[in-house]
A and B are shown apart, each in its own frame.
Chain A
Amino acid sequence: MAASTGKSFAGRFGAHIAVLVFVVIWTIPTLGILVSSLRDKDQIVASGWWNSFASSSQSEAGRLPAASAQTQKDGKYVIEGNIFGDGPKRDISAFGVKSSAPTQYKAGTVAELNDGATLQMNADGTFVLSSAKAFEGDRGQRVYYASSAPPKFTTDNYDAVLFSEGIGRSFMNSLTVTIPATIIPILIAAFAAYALAWMRFPGRALLIAVIIGLLVVPLQMSLIPLLKLYNGVGTFFGVPSKTYLGIWLAHTGFGLPFAIYLLRSYIAGLPREIMESARIDGASDFEIFVKIVLPLSFPVLASFAIFQFLWVWNDLLVAMVFLGTAPDQIVLTAKLNALLGSRGGNWEILTTSAFITIIVPLIVFFSLQRYFVRGLLAGSVKGG
């Protein structure tokens, strides 16, 4: 029967596999920067992060000591030592003396050099260079070798990024921007939403329509006039035009239409009887709002708070326009963008910084996912 294919073993199995593929594709990118941020910075460029649990091998070049280090042994001139010197030891798998063939000889074997000299290099880095003739010159023999290092995980990158790259400071700046920019719109929107839902006054319907219209106005429409306005206000009062107060109000303005829309549709759905019995008991609108509506609206307030928090924390555009780029104002997203320009190839810095910027949203997201999803559903199924 055709109908049973959906419930057949093969069908079920297919669904598991398909979902697994999606999950892997969606998770791997984030996993990549998490793993990389914990790796030693030399290993990040030496091998892909997916190899991070295996030893990483890399090609290196070094120079043997100059002729002045030679000693005479059995009638031969010999230079001995360890290629790693006093530095960290690695395992050498192969070596060579020409850049075109850097791994010509296996470790432990003897290589014949041009002028009758021989070079033996062992896996632990010790070498013996010997020749019948005396070595000359003050530059030693160039050697190439492939070495492998055991996997190494470290939190050094986090130390470096937090304290010397300025990410720690930016983290504080982001919090300074985000917390008030989340709370202020909630307060303002909650009062407005209550008035729009339960109070009668002229122009109410028009106001609701305007707010729904404003829901989709692109942020880009506001940027230039507000930039001019802020600059004007700054010059007029002789104050800086890029301030935390300025960006709080900007985020409040941009978040308000959605906040009012979301809260109004929830508050309008609260049971009328509760409001009316409170009113009969002599409660004013203010009392009803504070004592009844606010506590009952907790779920929707939480939903909006998470939205606004994530949006403000993740915002780059508003921060770049309304805040400065000095260390005392630059937020995480802007800092990360700046690092992409200045430290483009330093993946240990970039992956670690990126992970620090996404860690807070991830925690908020995982701990409050229920409210987040609820807000998402309420916000988009009805409006958009």
Chain B
Amino acid sequence: MATQIFSAIFVIIIGVGGCVAYFWGANKLLDLVFPSRGVSGAAAVDNLRRQGLVRPWLFVGPAMIILTIYLIYPVIETLRLSFLDRGGENFVGLANYEWALGDHDFRNSILNNVLWLAVVPAACTFLGLIIAVLTDKIWWGTIAKSLIFLPLAISFVGASVIWKFIYEYRGEGQVQIGLLNAIIQYFGGQPQVWISLPFWNNFFLMIILVWIQTGFAMVILSSALRGIPEETLEAAVIDGANPFQIFWKIMVPQIWGTIAVVWTTITILVLKVFDIVLTMTNGQWNSQVLANLMFDWMFRGGGDFGRGATIAIIIMIAVIPIMVWNIRQANKETGGH
């Protein structure tokens, strides 16, 4: 243990130190090669200009290299691999995509992903909005928000254990140690193995993600609600609107943009959901999703990179519209800047 602590500290220093050394050293080197001090005026101006040409690249260089290796190259390579066979050597055309269309697991995953996409972003946004509105009204709202926000800090695996304990099943008539079955049994119902119930098990997995993400939606929406001008609310009250009308007709339309952002953010997250399914069911009982199926194919029987890459491409295709929208929004912002 002690040796590991030391070696950990050592590698941390090397890693972080290396970074610092690069930026500091590269900058020093630039100053040495094109000195701007201690040379004649014209030369100094010339050198300053040259420095100005080089320095931005010293600053963005490491980021560009890492982004290229870890994101840009893989995107292109994954696209290429999706047309190759399992080892990534022979061109097979669209065979992987044809396989996907006919594969039972793949169809099941697509279906489940659609189900997740339909339920989770909506549930999180809706619950988050309601809690945001309610907590704004009461004096202990901050504490309440903290507690509801808390699951966001918990890992998906940790959350899975937490909820697996709630869904824990014991035979009928035995003492139920899982909260859900205990409640069901208390009211005279039949205890169930929740995570293997066909179709409905998907919802029991979704609850975990909703539990985690509602806090996120709540915080973002709560801050947007505060941005609503008081006058509009006061005017509505004077005009005799009831609380429901104020909520639906005054508040919601004014924070529509934020709701869209929350919705899309959670949508992207849902497309990538992996840990929860892996730890709860590993895709059994028809609860498979794309990200877990892909992980499965990466390693199943030595790994089938062609099929794995194909599944990744399908996930990517679902994200592209959001990506385009994002870039457009950002361009609009910087354009007006």
Q: Which residue numbers of A lie inside 8 Å of B, CB to CB? A: 1-3, 5-6, 11-12, 15-16, 18-20, 22-23, 26-30, 32-33, 36, 44-50, 58, 168-169, 172, 175-176, 179-180, 183-184, 187-189, 191-192, 194-196, 199-201, 204-205, 207-229, 244-245, 248-250, 252-254, 256-257, 260, 284-286, 289, 310, 313-317, 320-321, 328, 333, 336-337, 340, 347, 350-351, 353-354, 357-358, 361-362, 364-366, 369, 373, 376-377, 380-384
Is B4 engaged at the interface, CB distance under 8 Å to the other chain?
A: yes
Q: Is the CB of A19 within 8 A of B134?
A: yes
| Complex contact A310–B60 (CB within 8 A) | no
Choose one: A6, A176, A364; the contact of B246 (CB below 8 Å): A6
Q: Which residues of B contact A189 (CB under 8 A)?
A: 63
Compute how far the CA of A249 lies from the CA of B70 in the bound complex, rounded to whole angstroms: 8
Out of A20, A32, A191, name the residue touching B23 (CB < 8 Å): A191
CB within 8 A of B134: which of A18, A45, A245, A310? A18
Closest 4 CB pairs of A and B: A253-B70, A314-B155, A192-B63, A195-B59
In chain B, positions 283-337 with a C-beta closer than 8 Å to chain A are: 291, 294-295, 298, 305, 308-309, 311-313, 315-316, 319, 322-323, 326-327, 329-331, 333-334
Contact string against A for B residues 54-78, beta-carbon threshold 8 Å, 1 for contact and 0 otherwise = 0111011011101101111111011
Residues in chain A near residue B67, CB distance under 8 A: 210-211, 214, 253, 256-257
B81: A residues at CB distance < 8 A: 224-225
A15 in contact with B134 (CB, 8 Å): yes
**Contact (A384, B158) CB under 8 Å given A48-B175, A191-B59, A376-B219:** no
Instruction: Report the nearest B residue to A4, measured CB to CB.
Output: B237
Check B154 against A212 for contact (C-beta < 8 Å).
no
Contacts of B178 in A (CB 8 A): 48
Given A27-B147, A224-B81, A364-B153, the answer on whether A384 and B261 have CB atoms closer than 8 Å is yes
Q: Which residues of B contact A316 (CB under 8 A)?
A: 155-157, 274-275, 278-279
Our pick among A176, A188, A211 for the contact of B12 (Cβ within 8 Å) is A176
B110 in the interface (beta carbon within 8 A): no
B243 touches A256 (CB 8 A): no
Partner of B71, one of A191, A222, A340, A354: A222
The answer to whether the Cβ of B5 comes within 8 Å of any Cβ in the partner chain is yes
Tell yes or no: B43 within 8 A of A by CB.
no
A139, B19: Cα distance in complex, Å: 74
Given the known A-B contacts A6-B246, A27-B147, A222-B71, are A19 and B138 also in contact in the complex, defined by CB atoms under 8 Å?
yes
Question: Would A377 and B74 count as touching, CB distance under 8 A?
Answer: no
Tell me, yes or no, whether B229 is within 8 Å of chain A by CB: no
A-B contact pairs, 22 of them (CB 8 A): A22-B134, A29-B211, A30-B154, A176-B11, A183-B15, A192-B63, A199-B52, A201-B56, A212-B327, A216-B322, A217-B319, A224-B308, A225-B78, A252-B66, A254-B71, A314-B155, A314-B157, A354-B158, A361-B155, A365-B150, A383-B330, A384-B265
Whether A172 and B298, one on each chain, are in contact in the complex, defined by CB atoms closer than 8 angstroms, is no
The chain B residue sitting closest to A317, CB to CB, is B274
CA distance A350 to B158 in the complex (A): 9
Q: Are B60 and A195 in contact (CB under 8 A)?
A: yes
Say yes or no: is B163 at the interface (Cβ < 8 Å to chain A): yes
Cβ A224 vs Cβ B216 within 8 A: no
Q: Which residues of B contact A382 (CB under 8 A)?
A: 329-330, 333
**Contact across chains for A22 and B144 when beta carbons are under 8 A apart:** yes
Q: Chain B contacts of A354 at CB under 8 A?
A: 157-158, 161-162
Residues of B contacting A226 with CB < 8 Å?
Answer: 70, 74
Contact A3 B298 (CB under 8 A): no
Question: Inter-chain contact count A-B, CB under 8 Å?
Answer: 361
Partner of A169, one of B1, B36, B62, B77: B1
List the B side residues contacting A314 at CB < 8 Å.
Answer: 153-158
Q: How far is the CA of A327 from the CA of B254 in the complex (A)?
A: 53
Most chain B beta-carbon contacts within 10 A, residue among A5, A187, A289: A187
Answer whether A192 and B60 are a contact pair too, CB < 8 Å, given A184-B16, A220-B272, A253-B66.
yes
A72 to B62, CA, bound (A): 91
| A22-B1 in contact (CB<8A) | no
For residue A362, give the distance in angstroms from its CB to the closest CB of chain B: 6
* Chain B residues whose CB sits within 8 angstroms of the CB of A337 once the complex forms: 157, 275, 278-279
Interface presence of B177 (CB below 8 A): yes
Q: A172-B5, A188-B19, A376-B216 are in contact. Are A30 and B60 (CB under 8 A)?
A: no
Interface string of B221-239 (1 = CB under 8 A from A): 0011000000000000110
Could you tell me if A207 and B240 are in contact, using CB atoms closer than 8 angstroms? no
Residues of A within 8 A of B154 (CB): 30, 314, 358, 361-362
Query: Given A50-B179, A222-B74, A227-B298, is A15 in contact with B138 using a C-beta cutoff of 8 Å?
Result: yes
Interface centre among B16, B20, B66, B323 (most CB of A within 10 A): B66
Contact A3 B240 (CB under 8 A): yes
Q: Closest Cβ of chain B: how far from A66's Cβ, in Å?
A: 31
Q: Are B70 and A220 in contact (CB under 8 A)?
A: no
Asked whether A196 and B134 contact (CB < 8 A) given A30-B162, A225-B74, A357-B158, the answer is no
Instruction: Check B176 against A48 for contact (C-beta < 8 Å).
Output: yes
Q: Measured between alpha carbons, how far is A303 from B143 in the docked complex, in Å?
A: 21
Distance A310 CA – B154 CA, assembled complex (angstroms): 8
Interface residues of B in 148-187 (CB under 8 A from A): 148-158, 160-166, 168, 175-179, 182
Chain A residues with Cβ below 8 Å from B312 are 218, 220-221, 223-224
CB atoms of A168 and B1 under 8 A apart: yes
Q: Kindly supply a per-residue 1/0 record for chain B positions 78-91, scoring 1 wherever the CB is within 8 Å of any chain A CB and 0 otherwise.
A: 10010000001000
Expressed in whole angstroms, the Cα–Cα distance for A55 and B11 within the complex equals 51
